[in-house]
Amino acid sequence: MPPESLSCKECKTVYPLDARYVCERCFGPLEVSYASRADADPEALRRRIQAGPHSLWRYGDFLPVSAPPPGTLPAGWTPLLRADRLAERLGLREVWIKNDAANPTHSFKDRVVSVALARARELGFETIACASTGNLANAVAAHAAAAGLESYVFIPHDLEEQKVLATGVYGTNVVAVQGNYDDVNRLCTELSGEHEWAFVNINMRPYYAEGSKTLAFETAEQLGFRLPDRVVAPIASGSLFTKIARGFQEWIDAGLLSGRLPVFNGAQAEGCSPVASAFAAGHDFCRPVKPDTIAKSLAIGNPADGPYALDLARATKGRIDSVTDDEIREGIRLLAQTTGIFTETAGGVTTAVLAKLARRGDIDPDERVVAYITGEGLKTLDAVRGTFEAWRIDPNVSSFERAAEQRAGALA
Ligand SMILES: *Cc1c(COP(=O)(O)O)cnc(C)c1O
Ligand SMILES: [Zn+2]
């Protein structure tokens, strides 16, 4: 089922599969279209998937590049864990955590970069670049290093130090811009007209976005080729959120899944919640905001796929909610203490929104719920600083016993 063309999401004008992202007629976004799968045999397709590699490349039939070029850093095939202790805490019965921190650079961005970079190499690009809120820079730097390509990553100057260090180590060109992500994105859009570079999330965006579908494919396969009833996922630009739905729909259409799309719940940080605000106000479009939140990986004030995220939440009878920075910190601890998974602030947003939905009674206790944890806690350590105190003791037994007694006393 080969990719056929790029087509405009709005007016359906068709373009060749090259490095372009915007419709010349109506300025709508472009996406990859595939040849019809109507005659494909679902059983044969399912067997081919199950015989594939333990990476996102097992879903090559549904991607614009069917096999990875040599030197590819494998990404995807991350754990889907049943979280019974978390479910119990929330008064639910079946909650699953898709832990995408278990990727090579510890976020879901390894998926989108894998696909964009593979297509960029087919198109002959020798330099890879991106506009990033942190995790994308991390992934671009690593995957470019593995492929032996030069890379430039453009980031806002005030990112978490852990993310910047974990990016620079790959030998990329780290360009810190005095501005926020939306300034960085605007600059990169201009630069993409000046240089023959593959900007993974600008001129390669249609291919980049396809990588997120693999989160849906993996979820369904790991559930035994079944659909969840509800998903909770974070929203920055809205690409991940909407492409998870696209992935499920493609498998329903291909006969690999039966049923209909899950309910889609989007999660944003209150300090950058243009999509949640538009949802609450009943608007079809998002009003851009200036981000101010600890969830820096989600800090996109002008989300490109915001209107599509709103459509999806409404069409599936879902919602888009936001949570405060304190709720995000609590969400990180709730997930860690009930599942053993330490997530970054974006995962705190997702967990806090899941908890909020459960508290509000929006979730039927019998639903099968999947929450998408998209990044690693070690990248945003400041979010948990000061939340506990270590016991300070001398290296002898009596000192330990004294400290234990004091603790017990303090607790009583
Ligand atoms: C980029 C990112 C997202 C979502 O990004 P979209 O632009 O909405 O696709 C979610 N979580 C983390 C940790 C990210 O880095
Ligand atoms: Zn168009």
- Identify the residue whose C-alpha is closest to ligand 1 atom 14: 297
257 C-alpha vs ligand 1 centroid, how far in Å? 26
Checking if the pLDDT of 1 tops 90, the result is no
Mean pLDDT of 317-336: 98
Least confident of 33-42, 55-64, 89-98: 33-42
pLDDT of amino acid 38: 64
Q: What is the mean pLDDT of residues 253-276?
A: 97
Q: For ligand 1, is residue 235 a contact (CB within 6 Å)?
A: yes
| Ligand 1 center from residue 359 Cα (angstroms) | 25
Q: Whose CA is nearest to atom 12 of ligand 1?
A: 374
Contacts of 208 (CB under 8 A, 6+ apart): 112, 113, 115, 116, 200, 201, 239
Mean pLDDT score, 41-57: 96
Q: How confident is the model at residue 40 (pLDDT cuts 50, 70, 90)?
A: confident
Q: Are residues 126 and 91 in the same domain?
A: no
Point out the ligand 1 atom lying closest to the alpha carbon of residue 238.
8
Q: Is 346 in the pocket of ligand 1 (CB under 6 A)?
A: yes
363 lines ligand 1 (CB under 6 A): no
Cα–Cα distance between 400 and 391 in angstroms, integer? 9
79 phi and psi, to 5 degrees?
-65, 145
SS3 of the chain: helix, strand, coil, percent, to 5: 45, 15, 40
* Burial of 123 from C-beta contacts in 10 A (0-12 / 13-18 / 19+): middle
- Residue 263 to residues 15, 198, 228: CA-CA distances in angstroms? 32, 35, 9
Domain of 133: which CATH number?
A: 3.40.50.1100
* Position 90 confidence tier, pLDDT thresholds 50, 70, 90: very high
Interacting residues of 320 by C-beta distance below 8 A, sequence separation 6+: 235, 265, 266, 267, 268, 275, 276, 279, 309, 310, 313
Query: Do residues 170 and 276 share a domain?
Result: no
3 state SS of 135? helix
CA 7 / ligand 2 centre spacing (Å): 8
CA 240–ligand 1 middle distance (angstroms): 7
One domain for residues 162 and 261: no
Q: Which ligand is nearest to the CA of 113?
A: 1
Domain identity same for 268 and 160: no
Instruction: Give 332's pLDDT tier (boundaries 50, 70, 90).
Output: very high
Cβ of residue 240 lying under 6 Å from some atom of ligand 1: yes
Query: What pLDDT does residue 71 have?
Result: 85
CA distance 3 to 324: 41
Average the pLDDT over 173-200 and give the result.
96
Question: Would you say residue 412 has pLDDT above 90?
Answer: no
Domain presence at residue 292: yes
Question: 192 CA distance to ligand 2 centroid (A)?
Answer: 20
Ligand nearest to the CA of 7: 2
pLDDT confidence of residue 36? 79
Q: Do 101 and 113 reside in the same domain of the chain?
A: no
Does 125 share its domain with 225? no
Ligand 2 centroid distance, CA of 304 (Å): 15
Whole-number average pLDDT of the chain: 96
pLDDT attached to residue 58:
97
If asked whether residues 304 and 184 sit together in one domain, one would say no
Structure tokens that stand for 38 in this block: 């109507």
103 lines ligand 1 (CB under 6 A): no
Q: What backbone phi and psi angles, to 5 degrees, belong to 135? A: -70, -35
What is the band of 3 on the pLDDT scale with cuts at 50, 70, 90? confident
Separation CA 231–CA 381 (nearest Å): 26
For residue 300, how many C-alpha atoms fall within 13 Å in the half-sphere facing its CB? 22
Q: Are residues 295 and 254 in the same domain?
A: yes
**Of ligand 1's atoms, which has the minimum distance to the CA of residue 239?**
9
Task: Kindly state the percentage of the chain with pLDDT values over 90.
Answer: 93
Say how many Å lie between the CA of residue 399 and the centre of ligand 1: 47
Q: Which of 25, 297, 332 lies closest to 158, judged by CA?
A: 297
Mean pLDDT score, 156-164: 92
Residue 357: which of 317, 384, 315 has the closest Cα? Answer: 317
pLDDT of residue 86: 98
164 and 185 assigned to the same domain: yes
User: Looking at 30-39, 76-85, 170-179, 223-232, which range is the least confident one?
Assistant: 30-39
Q: With respect to residue 358, please indicate whether it lies within any of the assigned structural domains.
A: yes
Mutate to test the pocket of ligand 1, among 111, 135, 207, 214 (most ligand atoms within 8 A of CB): 135
Pick from 350, 268, 304: nearest CA to 182: 304
As given in the structure block, the two tokens for residue 350 are 């997702």
Q: Which residues contact 72 (CB under 8 A, 6 or more apart)?
A: 57, 114, 117, 118, 143, 146, 147
Q: Given pLDDT bands bounded at 50, 70 and 90, which one contains residue 170? A: very high
- Mean pLDDT, residues 168-179: 97
244 lines ligand 1 (CB under 6 A): no
- From 180, 209, 238, give the residue that closes a domain: 209
| Together in a domain, 275 and 359 | yes
Name the domain boundary from 171, 186, 209: 209
The closest ligand to the CA of 302 turns out to be: 1
Domain count, the chain: 2
Range of 251's domain? 80-106+212-384
Q: For residue 236, give the ligand 1 atom closest to its CA.
A: 8
Q: How far apart are CA 268 and CA 274, in angstroms?
A: 8
Same domain for 262 and 196: no
For the CA of 205, the nearest ligand: 1
Pick the range with the lowest mean pLDDT from 38-52, 103-117, 219-233. 38-52
CA distance from start to end of the chain: 65
CB atoms within 10 A of CB 91: 11
Percent of all residues in the chain with a pLDDT value above 70, rounded to a whole number: 99
Residue owning the nearest CA to atom 11 of ligand 1: 374
pLDDT at residue 8 is higher than 90:
yes
Residues 274 and 251 in one domain: yes
Q: Is residue 114 part of a domain?
A: yes
Q: In whole angstroms, what is the distance from residue 362 CA to residue 166 CA?
A: 39
Domain-terminating residue out of 209, 225, 247: 209
